[in-house]
Structure 1
Amino acid sequence: MKRILRLPSLLRLTLVFFIAIAFQNCSQEKIKEKTDETLNITEYLRANSDYSMFLEILDMTNYASFMNTYGTYTVFIPTNEAVKQYLTDVGATSLSEIPLEDLQNIARLHILDQKVTTTSFTDGKIATPSLHGQYLITGASNKNGVSSVTVNKSASIVASNIELGNGVVHIIDKVLLVANKTLAQTIAENPNLSLFTEALKATGWFDELNKPLTKDENNVSSYLSVLAQTNEVFAEAGYTTLDQLKARYSHLNNPMDKKDSLNLFISYRILPGLQYLADIAVSPALVTKAPLEVISAKLSKDTILLNDDIFNGILEKGVAIDRAVSDVTASNGVLHFVEGNFAIKKRLPAPVYFEFTDIAEFRRLTSIWRKPGAAFQDVPLSEAGIDVTWDGKTTDGASRISYNKAANGTAITNGVAGCWGADVLEIYRFRDATCQNIAFKTPVIIKGKYKVWISYRQKASKLGNVKVFFDGVELPRQINLHEGGNTDTAGTPETVLESQGYKRYAQPWSNRVNCRLVGTIDVTTTARHTLTLQSQFNAGDSAWFDLVEFRPVEMNQLYPKFQAGGSGLIYQ
């Protein structure tokens, strides 16, 4: 020690430094490797022995590592008791006896690639499909005075909204099963649909409903939706045998003929596409497999009514869909049950009010779409293609549209709050050098002549004229996005404005919005059509569009108006 003290001071300091380093290296260094201690979904399963059998399914199918990555997932986790019951139901003693493909299907059916809490559940399908591609159906049940949320009408949620690092999980008491039977098989195995099954076979539609799911050259799936009638419904209408149906409807005595009335009777109950009750409830008209024929639909309280319409001031009572037993998923579509017999109706042109925000690309934004409060969400070009397409590059950040909604209570003078529903479609940099063309699939429009009105929020600079095309045909008038509602500042009568191709479409009225008549069209087929907006100006800015009206030419073009900031209609 004395020798050390005799060393020069600089050398003593150096020696102390190296001794400290040595002691530090000998001690265990503790480094926090995570900034968030919340468990991921796989970690949560490993920490809870009650769900070890579902974890085993994920391990066997390699989904365990997938569910341990960053993301925003929703997983419906069956308990061990639920998995044991599944094994008993299929006659197996362990998961190793189940084919790997079946386990993969089960795993994918229980996982959604989006965070969905129970506050987003409705009495119907969850907006986001499972990784398997099939939708899950939620509802409410009451057993022994205890209410619970059900999934696919079989499993009950016993614990919900468990927030984890990469999503949310819900605990269920049954394993969800993949629908692997076709619509034809699903219908045929139901004894209450025996007469409907006979009619399907007699008209050739049974074979169509028995085809496996395919996709066409445009990647559109061959899903179908069926509105089935039970034997009881047929009996109430006076039909108990196939011969009676033939005698009443088969005017060509050849049900296989597509023009035969019995064939049309059946094809009128078959809808193209995957139409769950949640979709039907918001669809004013449903396209059917009967050529040029549609079914009107509307929601009355909690009942969906078909062909319940007022024509010439007279109410034509429709039939209700039996919601309790409908929404039956099949491998190639979905099955519903109607509570009454109904026939094809001759349809007259009817108004269609299409909000530009009512598109699949926005509807899947379940946390903000048409929810209270302000909201804004971009949709990139890479996510387009269901109801809307536009030009640009998927790698270009400017190639996007946005859902833009004003908060409740915002002054009507604000451009968005003055629009119907207080929301607009925003096109970012709407210009010929970035995004020049944007095309929309319209709702079903019944064949006839219509005037086309387009409403938008004014932009005082940069943006210019916009051409409008219907099914590829240019309409005679363009929209000038510089023009606002100040066209009526001199108290111009509305009839005079209408004659000039303008109107005050919303009430209360805001001079920040405008409505332009772009032309008259002749709709030759009852179907969905394509409406295209084309920018004619290079100085890009955000363009805001509210809605497009297709009004029959003989209809009042000024009323009903649209509730600014709300969803209602205002009649004269």
Structure 2
Amino acid sequence: MKRNLKKQWKIGVTFLLSLCVLWACQKEMFRETTTDEVNITGYLDLHPDTYSLLSEILVRSKTAGYLGAYGTYTLFAPDNNAIQAWIKSKGKNTIADFSDDELLNLVKYHVIRDTVGSTRFTDGKIKTPTLFGEFLYTDVSSQSFRINRSAHITRMNVLCGNGLVHGIDQVLTPPTQSLAEVIENDNRYSIFSQALKETGFYDTLYFERGMEVPVEKRFQTVIVESDSVLKTQGIQSFADLKAEYSHTGDPKNPKDSLWLYMAYHISNDGKFLEDIVAMSTIYTLAPKEIISTKRDGIRILLNEDEFNGVFEPGAELNRNKSDVMASNGVLHESLQSFKIKVRKQVPVYFDAATSPELKVALGGAFGVNGTKALVSNGQPIANSLGFEKLDVLTIESNAYDYWGTLETKRPRANGDILNLSVCSNNANRVKYVELKTPYLVKGRYKVWVCFLQNGNAPEVQAIFNPGKEDEQVLPNIIFFNQTLSASGVSDMGNANADNLMLAQGYKRYMATSGDYNANGVAGGIKPKTGNDAGLNVGRLAGTIEVETTDRHTIRFLAVGGKCSSNSMWLDMIQFIPADDLEQIYPRFHQIPGELFYRPQ
């Protein structure tokens, strides 16, 4: 019996070994783009018909060693035909005609110290620079990927033991001109080019390899206006441009309007079109001035905004003349003229629940398992509504409440609220919620948080631009469980009640039943003492300093109170200029658009 078992065991082992050998053979037969048993250098050596010249360059440049050693690299590998064409274009006959340093720089421009698969290719720069210290750019042309708008990828995602190889049909060469030179050498930009020189920004955009440049200024983005675009503004020459913008007569003066105009067209960091759209805001060299960006179909628009209820048309980027690579950045061209927008501070009454982005995002269930970003029409809504722990968020469709019938006890401004779960010490609740504000013009604002009282609500602290250099923690804790009586005023019908509450940092933000607006609509809240007298609370969170005209972030961080589900009833956030004497009116109504101003 033992002998039979032993014999069966031997047969079984032999059978398994045979299967392994057969599997290994089959695996070898089907390995077309994967060769993880050799490193990058070994892979090139295995394919001399395609890459013998590149292998020779690696040896001459003394880079074969590290591309054959342990690490994580991506090599864009030009084939023999590509290298022969490159040798000829340089007026040489063989690789031996090049210096070791020339070949070393060639290799460094084709290697990234990271594994960059095709899934990371977009219409824009590869996020990790090459060993040469500059970025490569990818796009799609004729249904194939291109690198730097010249080399097509012929072999993709070849997995080696120390990284990836992508075969290409042309040698990649770094841009030879700086941004300043690209602009200067294009006669379509003669006025803009002269303006760069007169303001001193030509030197900012000039670069020679080997120059010592601060890291933040190594790469730049410039958006140029062509002579033809400037001529549509009546500007025929640089003299006209100077007469239009230079109010001091000294364009090199950083306070001069022409200096600011040119600074507004330049930004630190090299940004391709896809980067520009993704950022939504470009911070320029003009101090504290930004350019807003957005996509409209295939169009990319600058400064097309709605501000204070007024639509502001923007300028479109010329795709055919944009994404132009230079040795120190990227050039884009605008189809229309654009300049710094001069705006006055105005009160901003932000109805959190009626934000178009939030209506879409909160209109249905979230899907709480591992979801990290809200989605609108298939696109992520960047920074519109952020939670600390979205994976444990319990809010579903009831996170957005809309009341179609008039409510006298706790009416909502414009008929809706955000109904949120926020808690400081419960793992099943988020600890904070963030909202993206409307545009705020730079200056000082008083921040009023307007909410519906709920006895089970949390206590929160407002933080403006959390995690940024201009982060500001507002001093007053917002008790969402308090009524207006927390101001010390118990008789809401008192003629001086509003002023007494205002002195303590409280106010009514909803119109009372004794108020009538210009349309003859009556308010909904009874002004006298009673259960419904102070359940709509306007609380002063503090004063903020807005340094840059832009959309900003405000966070509501739970610091105490109860932890009941969906008990934080946020209605509005009002940003009123700190020097504005009118902090109480207008008041609001459940009917959208019905405003109540101070009686004359």
What is the TM-score normalised by the length of structure 1?
0.60
Choose which of 428, 442, 445 in structure 2 pairs with 1:447: 442
Residue 521 in 1 paired to residue 544 in 2? yes
Alignment counterpart, residue 157 of structure 1, candidates 138, 153, 156: 153
Residue 235 of structure 2: aligned partner: 239
Instruction: Give 1:102's aligned residue.
Output: 102
The 5 Å alignment of 1:55-454 reads: 55-142=55-142, 147-211=143-207, 214-216=212-214, 220-347=216-343, 374=370, 447-448=442-443, 449=445, 451=447
8 Å contact kept, 1:105–1:178: no
> Which string of whole-angstrom CA distances, capped at 9 and with x for unpartnered residues, describes residues 491-522 of structure 1?
xxx99898487xxxxxxxxxxxxxxx975411
CA shift at 1:308, angstroms? 0.8
The residue type paired with residue 39 of structure 2 is N
- Cα separation, 1, equivalents of 2:281 and 2:40: 42
Measure the CA separation in 1 of the matches of 2:344 and 2:543: 17
1:269 to partner: Cα distance: 0.8
Is the deviation greater in 340-349 or in 279-288?
Answer: 340-349
Q: After superposition, what is the alpha-carbon deviation per residue over 1:246-265, rounded to whole angstroms, capped at 9, x for unaligned?
A: 23323333333333332222
- Quote the Cα distance in structure 2 between the aligned partners of 1:78 and 1:226: 31
Cα gap change, 1:164 to 1:237, in 2 (>3 Å) = same
Residues 389-409 of structure 1 show CA distances to partners (whole Å, capped at 9, x for unaligned) of xxxxxxxxxxxxxx98859xx
* 2-structure distance, mates of 1:532, 1:221: 32
Letter in 2 for 1:322: N
CA distance 1:186–1:239, change in 2 (3 Å): same
1:177-215 alpha-carbon deviations (Å, 9 max, x no partner): 123432211211223222221221222221222255645
Distance 1:129 1:412, change over 3 A: farther
Query: 1:32-67: per-residue Cα shift (whole Å, max 9, x none)?
Result: xxxx96332111111112112222222222322222
CA contact (8 A) 1:452 1:520 kept: no
In 2, the alpha carbon distance for the partners of 1:102 and 1:201 equals 33
The residue identity in structure 2 corresponding to 1:84 is Q
**Compared CA separation, residues 71 and 171, structure 1 to 2 (3 A):** same
Which residue number in structure 1 is paired with residue 39 of structure 2? 40
Describe the SS at the equivalent of 2:318.
Answer: coil
Percent identity reads 35
1:366 is aligned to none
Structure 2 vs 1, CA of residues 444 and 281 (structure 1 numbering), >3 Å: closer, same or farther?
Answer: farther
RMSD of aligned Cα (Å): 5.5
Distance across 2 between alignment mates of 1:110 and 1:311: 46
Q: Deviations over 1:263-302 (max 9, x none)?
A: 2222211112333323211223222222332211112222
Q: Hey, what's the Cα distance between the residues in 2 that align with 1:373 and 1:133?
A: 40
Asked if structure 2 preserves the Cα contact closer than 8 Å seen for 1:74 and 1:167, the reply is yes
Shift in Å, 1:329: 2.7
Q: Secondary structure at the match of 2:135?
A: coil
Counterpart-to-counterpart distance in 2, 1:373 and 1:137: 35
* Secondary structure, aligned partner of 1:304: strand
- Contact persistence 1:214–1:221 (CA under 8 A): no
Q: Secondary structure at 1:225's aligned position in 2?
A: strand
Work out whether residues 467 and 536 of structure 1, in 8 Å CA contact, stay in contact via their aligned partners in 2. Answer: no
CA contact (8 A) 2:284 2:290 kept: yes
After superposition, the Cα gap between the structure-2 partners of 1:51 and 1:450, relative to the gap in structure 1 and judged at 3 Å, is: farther
CA contact (8 A) 2:299 2:317 kept: yes
Unaligned 5+ residue runs, structure 1?
A: 1-35, 354-371, 377-402, 415-441, 454-463, 481-493, 502-516, 538-548, 559-572
CA–CA separation in structure 1 for the residues paired with 2:438 and 2:122: 23
Cα distance, 1:477–1:76 mapped onto 2, change above 3 Å: farther
1:142-192 per-residue CA deviation (whole Å, 9 max, x = no partner) reads: 3xxxx3221111111122222223222211111111234322112112232
| Structure 2: segments with no counterpart, 5+ residues | 1-34, 351-367, 373-387, 398-436, 450-458, 480-508, 511-533, 561-571, 578-584, 589-600
Is the CA contact (8 Å cut-off) linking 2:124 and 2:275 kept in structure 1? no
Q: Is the partner of 2:271 in helix, strand or coil?
A: coil
Distance in 1, Cα, partners of 2:542 & 2:89: 62
Instruction: Indicate conservation of the 8 Å contact 2:281/2:290, yes or no.
Output: yes
Secondary structure in 2 matching 1:70 = coil
- Corresponding pairs, count: 429
Q: Secondary structure at the match of 1:69?
A: coil
Note the C-alpha offset of 1:234: 2.4
1:38 match: secondary structure:
coil
Give SS of 1:96's match. helix
**Quick one: which amino acid aligns to residue 107 of structure 2?**
A
Cα distance in 1 for residues equivalent to 2:226 and 2:257: 20
Distance 1:258 1:80, change over 3 A: same
**Aligned-residue offset at 1:342:** 1.5
Partner of 2:503: none
User: One-letter code of the match for 2:246?
Assistant: S
The SS at the match of 2:279 is coil
- Counterpart residue type for residue 545 of structure 2: D
Alignment-mate amino acid for residue 228 of structure 1: V
What's the counterpart of residue 476 of structure 1? 475
Cα separation, partners in 2 of 1:206 and 1:41, compared to 1, 3 Å? same
> Is the Cα–Cα contact under 8 Å of residues 469 and 533 in structure 1 kept in the other structure?
no
- Which amino acid is 2:122 matched to? T
Distance across 2 between alignment mates of 1:412 and 1:162 = 45
Q: Write out per-residue CA displacement over residues 69-103 of structure 1, whole angstroms, 9 at most, x where no aligned residue.
A: 33333221111111112222222222233333332
Following TM superposition, by how much is the alpha carbon of 1:310 offset from its aligned partner in structure 2, in angstroms?
1.4
Partner SS, residue 270 of structure 2: coil
| Contact 1:476–1:518, Cα closer than 8 Å, also in 2 | yes
Q: Is the 8 A contact 2:36 2:159 kept in 1?
A: no
CA contact (8 A) 1:450 1:550 kept: no
Assess, with a 3 A threshold, how the Cα gap between structure 1 residues 271 and 220 changes in structure 2: closer, same or farther.
closer
Determine the C-alpha separation between the residues in 2 that align with 1:404 and 1:104: 48
Change (3 A) 1:551 1:336: farther
C-alpha contact 1:450 1:523 (8 A) present in aligned 2: no
Q: Which amino acid aligns with 2:45?
A: R
| Structure 1: distance between partners of 2:102 and 2:549 | 42
Distance in 2 separating the partners of 1:479 and 1:180? 58
Give the deviation of 1:450 after TM superposition. Answer: 6.8
Q: Deviations over 1:354-412 (max 9, x none)?
A: xxxxxxxxxxxxxxxxxx99589xxxxxxxxxxxxxxxxxxxxxxxxxx98859xx986
Distance 1:64 1:443 in 2: 55
Partner SS for 1:281: helix
Conserved 8 A contact 1:292-1:527: no
With over 3 angstroms needed to count, the CA separation of the structure-2 counterparts of 1:199 and 1:70, relative to structure 1, is same
Q: Secondary structure at the match of 1:42?
A: helix
In structure 1, distance between residues paired with 2:464 and 2:304: 32
